[in-house]
Amino acid sequence: MGCLTTRSTVCPMTGRPADDREARFGAIYEAHRQTLHAYFLGRTGDPELALDVLQETFVRAWRNLDLLLGLPEARQRAWLFAIGRNLVIDQYRGRAARTAAHDALTVAAQLAAPAAESAEQVVERAGELRLIEAAIGRLPEDLRTVLVLQVLGERTSAEIGELLGRPAGTVRYQLSRARKRLAQELARLESAPETPTTSPRSRAREPVRERRHEHV
Amino acid sequence: MCSQHSEPAPVSGRRLSRLLARWADARRLDARQAEAIRQRIVAEPPPPDFDWWWRLLDPAGGSALRALPSAPGWEAGPDADTRLFEAPGGLSTGLSSWAQDDADFRPYLRLT
């Protein structure tokens, strides 16, 4: 029996093995996915949409891999962010019909509690997460973006400034404002009669979406 | 009544940091999720026009380059029966070269 692979093993453009291309793409993906994910989540305030845009951005990168590989790392990041920014704008204009990353990546899985926790602890933890998510969703987009880039993207003020084209001092000021407003929003949500702590998981994203429309 | 309208005291900075850290842990893609997305991306088909352009313009045997020398009368002049037109620069195009059933060649006709 012949040992035939069904997959093309050499790229016709570069002559590089396909595995090599995947490895190079994987390196770019690993280097930038966390920051981009944080950026998209900050911009959209919508976890599902952020995953969609993340995937679509890297699909573009995969299709333009030879171009990207010819760029230094800083310019690769600039290219990815430029693509991502445009995709976010497109998504605001009308969400694409395609289903995407969230099919397999449900928040329910992320909220699943460690086995050691009691039922009460699970409820409390899920309630707190819904609360903080709702409060983050109520932040204005510019404040939310810098905050999420810091907390989720693990970027410094200087790095965030570089990514967003703002001075680091401005970013520090925005971070301070974001935390202050978040603390107030959390207090308001906790003191509100219908605090979203008793609703099921499926309601977790509702406040975020509602607030997002208000900001548009 | 006044107390209902007063702003509640903001949560402490320490509690805020704890909640934010917990939120980030819940939202951060873990290795399994990141790998699932990566697999989905590299499984994407190549751009629909890439193969077509490559098959057309590949210097080593692309359709466009392959067709020209093989057109009848490329050197001696096209056959009168198959001649469609003659471009101003003297570049002749024979019917036989345009009428190929080569699937690679058809999109080229659409563009012209």
For residue B83, pLDDT beyond 90: no
Contacts of A144 in chain B (CB under 8 A): none
Nearest to A133 among B23, B38, B47 (CB): B23
Q: How far apart are CA A81 and CA A68, in angstroms?
A: 13
Contacts of A68 in chain B (CB under 8 A): none
What number is the average pLDDT over the span A52-67? 93
Range in A133-137, A206-210, B63-67, B75-79 with the lowest mean pLDDT: A206-210
What number is the average pLDDT over the span A90-117? 51
Q: Which SS3 state, helix, strand or coil, does residue B94 take?
A: strand
Top-confidence range, B41-45, B93-97, B98-102: B41-45
DSSP B29: -
Nearest to A187 among B8, B21, B46 (CB): B8
* Shortest CA gap A93–chain B (Å): 24
pLDDT tens, residue by residue, A65-91: 988 998 988 899 999 999 999 999 887
* Shortest CA gap B107–chain A (Å): 20
Cα–Cα nearest to B22, from A152, A19, A14, A74: A152
Burial label for A206, CB within 10 Å (0-12, 13-18, 19+), is middle
pLDDT tens, residue by residue, A123-156: 777 788 889 999 999 999 999 999 999 999 999 9
Count CB neighbours of B81 within 10 A. 9
Pair B72, B96: CB distance under 8 Å: yes
What number is the average pLDDT over the span A160-184? 96
pLDDT greater at residue B77 or residue A153: A153
Name the residue of chain A whose CA is nearest to B19's CA.
A132
Range in A107-121, B29-43, B57-71, B74-88 with the lowest mean pLDDT: B74-88
Q: State whether ipTM is beyond 0.85.
A: no
* Shortest CA gap B67–chain A (Å): 20
Q: Which SS3 state, helix, strand or coil, does residue B84 take?
A: strand
Per-residue model confidence (pLDDT) at position B55: 63
For residue B82, pLDDT beyond 70: no
